[in-house]
Structure 1
């Protein structure tokens, strides 16, 4: 039987398959988690891949429907509809990868050409970049002579046991060093493991950079944090910090230097500075919008003459919290949802029976309920034929469950929809306020860069449909992945990039939403579930 070799990039996975095998089937056999909510029937349009080389079958009617002219011209196809006719190389963008697979390309920003490597100590064999997030921590071991990432590791922040949000941790942390020791002990443990995995030692690390939000930054340095929980939310220190790594308890080389870039404000930390730095290398001119969506969402409007930043208390709905069947992005979580009349199709992380629904699935579900007329633009569930009342609350059944197999029923309730509305309204208000402040409209944005784990996994069309993100052509959006981690590595290996990070923090001005006269009006308008576009952002008398 005739066979063809199929190579999937950037993961570098390949296999030999019988002629007639679709790209989607080849991906499945290689355990590459391409999204296919429709089960490979060509009706969802999610499994887009780019054919780099090799002849493939002719385009189908389904592909003509789901692929834009620009995508067709660039060689994009639907994996479920395409059959290689010879040895074929494919490029898989991050968007169609399911969550466990997407972590392989989560940090999607390459070092720019000409970046100065080994800028601080050319003899140092290794450097360490750390992204200290509220929920997750990421480490990157870097060769300081070449800039190559030697190893990386991500895991849940162990401080979660003291509280899922930073306010809970702040309440416990003053005069109590458990929070700092917890994270440092975990860092040392993982540093020991990943250096051992590549045949090296923690003592080989002579340079380190750590980025994080303001609370994580302060907790890491054992700085006072109680003032961050009350107005005017003033950091104990905003400037860059350079100390011996051992001073915070890190077990690296004896004289290893730890650098922490400057902060922008009480709720906008060095992780956002690093993300802005990384976004500077996306080859975009004009005005850019950069968002890192989470419990606290940081947004910056970046233009040649200014950087304006705002922090939005968007809440934990997009992390699965305060949602009846919400969960984090773990195996079994519904990560994508499609509704056609009463037919609900879902894709779960790990392709196992659903156990709950994570942020990207929640966003999809609300968008689909809106599209199918099951909720209206005010968020009200108004279709009694397709919803039900249980425990005095209206809900929509996403998955009926099967008690015999141990699966439970999963629903989206009226309260869940309200939680999503509040989260998306906070973010939309921040975007509108920044645009208004600079007399700009949505259409004047040349690029929208979405950073962070949640932003990397969402369906942009769902986000635009409910007004979480502005209604702009898909070509203007970039899902950056771990932009903070990428920026931290740039700061680690280059004196020029480190200098730029200082300039970014100094240039950024902070917009306080609470003191904006029309804040309440903007927020109430933003609760509506509908797209927003051209006129938004213009100041009105």
Structure 2
């Protein structure tokens, strides 16, 4: 904790050294810091993204950088992370590389930019956005007609009774007279936010954000046509503070300034994406009148500048479940100055607005069939829906699916193994970017374990076979690294015995979650009509392998489907339809939350679920 409290680089110091960071896009950043600061801390506090899933605590071993000039002696942790050749080449863990002299640091790519879906919301909705535009041609005032400018405008749109603030009143008079009294009134949720010269009724846009812990996705929508115009995504700039919400909450508890920094990083990510989709779509930012944002409770509170600490300690209480209407500027999004922001309500500390958005998009609130909604991730949210209603819980799966805590784990980036297939004499790998493999991402981890189970190289307890127990062609792949049994996939990329255990813990937490929900509601697993795998990870997970490792119920494969980015789809719905937005608010009262830790049988069932089927 002591090191964490002193992580911010002081503005004044008796002596300074220079760190030059070479970024993967060819740029260089030079930073002056006092001696004794780690390469990771200096980068984090100056907006340079270094890959990390533990927030610089030295546990994930993902923050590798290359010291191209200067000296940073390797630590014992570096020795466990890198081969002697890599150490001689200058590779170090940034969180352990203490700068005592000028250094030049090469920073590898954090990740490739994930692809953003550009499809529509996937189901029919009645187009009724909160944003409305009315073109009117007003009669000029006379001595006989001395109505105020505002009265004259409101009388022309008498079916609406919008309120008007000071900002629009300041514009109203000049615009009316310059436009010869022919103007378009812009109304958002019963508030007059602007008056534009001429007829601009065909230009009304909104941006839907999925504010994920790892990835943030933005979709620009034409609100007059109900269609997407452009989409973009990028890593959440908060990544240097940790891969999961617990690590980020911990950062704010150990450093009073971390919360404001995390807020600013969230705003930076949202603002950059808004600018990108507007540029790609050829839309002036001033014509974006509303944004909608779906995120988990921690991401939402950090973006709003609310203290996240109560979310991280029992009894896990959010500042508010429903967030009142805001301005987009409150979230750092630079669009129309008076643009509004709608945020999805949270069901609780660990079932947030992203899940509410997902339930809305998937129609769980309207379906009488028995369906399981599973958002697979570090914190796995599970919702069981039926004619009797909706019941939700959260399962602490841990970061294995994000590649953390896995020896050769990495995010779904170029070089990540995403699919694995074993044949009697070889291993077939699917690698993102069709390059040489650099590591194993979540879907590749599930595939690898499932294939080892299928071929008998892994037993139900999770024990890897010995070379003597394997087919001759595959036996050389079963070897040891640092005294631990591993299965080599290719080159330096392998699956270790410890990796298998990490996956067992993750899948057991999730399986315990849905099992207890079924028990809580008196539902038989055979009655489940559909399992929806949500989130970016769920979209790439093989249903067959999810069943094989016991992650999801043992159902016929057609019943297990990828729901895609339903949080983002729900945010689109909120922009396109006030009725759908009202439905999201209603879910606060309709969903019953079950706290797993309150169940006395949780631990026993968790232990049972550790074994593979």
Measured in 1, the distance between the counterparts of 2:389 and 2:333 equals 37
Could you give the per-residue CA deviations for residues 417-450 of structure 1, whole angstroms, max 9, x where no partner exists?
A: 0000000000000010100001111111111111
User: Could you say what secondary structure the match of 2:562 adopts?
Assistant: strand
Measured in 1, the distance between the counterparts of 2:366 and 2:350 equals 28
How many Å apart are 1:213 and its aligned residue? 0.4
Which residues in structure 2 correspond to 1:404-443 (within 5 Å)?
409-443=492-526
Q: Does 1:393 align with 2:484?
A: yes
Q: Is the 8 A contact 1:273 1:501 kept in 2?
A: yes
Q: Does 1:113 align with 2:196?
A: no
Name the structure 2 match of 1:163: 242
Q: Is the 8 A contact 2:131 2:289 kept in 1?
A: no
Q: Does 1:214 align with 2:293?
A: no
Q: Is the 8 A contact 2:120 2:228 kept in 1?
A: no
Give the gaps of 5 or more residues in structure 1: 1-98, 402-408, 531-541
Q: Does 1:239 align with 2:239?
A: no
Measured in 2, the distance between the counterparts of 1:145 and 1:369 equals 52
TM-score when normalising by structure 1: 0.75
Name the structure 1 match of 2:222: 143
Measured in 1, the distance between the counterparts of 2:249 and 2:524 equals 37
Of 441, 453, 456, the match for 1:373: 456
User: Could you say what secondary structure the match of 1:324 adopts?
Assistant: coil
Name the structure 2 match of 1:384: 467
Measured in 1, the distance between the counterparts of 2:316 and 2:270 equals 28
Give the gaps of 5 or more residues in structure 2: 1-110, 135-185, 187-203, 469-474
Could you give the per-residue CA deviations for residues 308-333 of structure 1, whole angstroms, max 9, x where no partner exists?
A: 11111101111111111111111111
Bigger Rg, structure 1 or 2: 2
Measured in 1, the distance between the counterparts of 2:348 and 2:443 equals 28
Could you give the per-residue CA deviations for residues 257-278 of structure 1, whole angstroms, max 9, x where no partner exists?
A: 1111211001111000000001
Q: Is the 8 A contact 1:108 1:480 kept in 2?
A: no
Q: Is the 8 A contact 1:245 1:252 kept in 2?
A: yes
Measured in 1, the distance between the counterparts of 2:269 and 2:369 equals 42
Task: Give the direction of change, closer, same or farther, for the CA distance of 1:102–1:248 in structure 2 (3 Å limit).
Answer: closer
Name the structure 1 match of 2:252: 173
How many Å apart are 1:145 and its aligned residue? 1.1
Measured in 1, the distance between the counterparts of 2:507 and 2:516 equals 14
Q: Does 1:128 align with 2:219?
A: no
Of 350, 370, 388, the match for 1:305: 388
Measured in 2, the distance between the counterparts of 1:319 and 1:111 equals 27
How many Å apart are 1:283 and its aligned residue? 8.7
User: Could you say what secondary structure the match of 1:112 adopts?
Assistant: coil
- Higher RCO structure (Cα 8 Å, ≥6 apart): 1
Of 423, 427, 436, the match for 1:344: 427
Q: Is the 8 A contact 2:274 2:333 kept in 1?
A: no
How many Å apart are 1:384 and its aligned residue? 2.9
How many Å apart are 1:114 and its aligned residue? 4.0
How many Å apart are 1:383 and its aligned residue? 3.0
How many Å apart are 1:130 and its aligned residue? 0.7
Measured in 2, the distance between the counterparts of 1:277 and 1:324 equals 37
Q: Does 1:314 align with 2:405?
A: no
Q: How many residues align?
A: 423
TM-score when normalising by structure 2: 0.66
How many Å apart are 1:101 and its aligned residue? 12
Q: Is the 8 A contact 2:526 2:555 kept in 1?
A: yes
Which residues in structure 2 correspond to 1:355-366 (within 5 Å)?
355-366=438-449
Name the structure 2 match of 1:40: none
Could you give the per-residue CA deviations for residues 215-250 of structure 1, whole angstroms, max 9, x where no partner exists?
A: 001001111111111111010100132112223332
Name the structure 2 match of 1:270: 353
How many Å apart are 1:121 and its aligned residue? 2.4
Task: Give the direction of change, closer, same or farther, for the CA distance of 1:215–1:102 in structure 2 (3 Å limit).
Answer: closer
How many Å apart are 1:170 and its aligned residue? 1.5
User: Could you say what secondary structure the match of 1:158 adopts?
Assistant: coil
How many Å apart are 1:172 and its aligned residue? 2.8
Measured in 2, the distance between the counterparts of 1:114 and 1:247 equals 29
Could you give the per-residue CA deviations for residues 34-67 of structure 1, whole angstroms, max 9, x where no partner exists?
A: xxxxxxxxxxxxxxxxxxxxxxxxxxxxxxxxxx
Measured in 2, the distance between the counterparts of 1:108 and 1:294 equals 23
Measured in 1, the distance between the counterparts of 2:214 and 2:114 equals 18
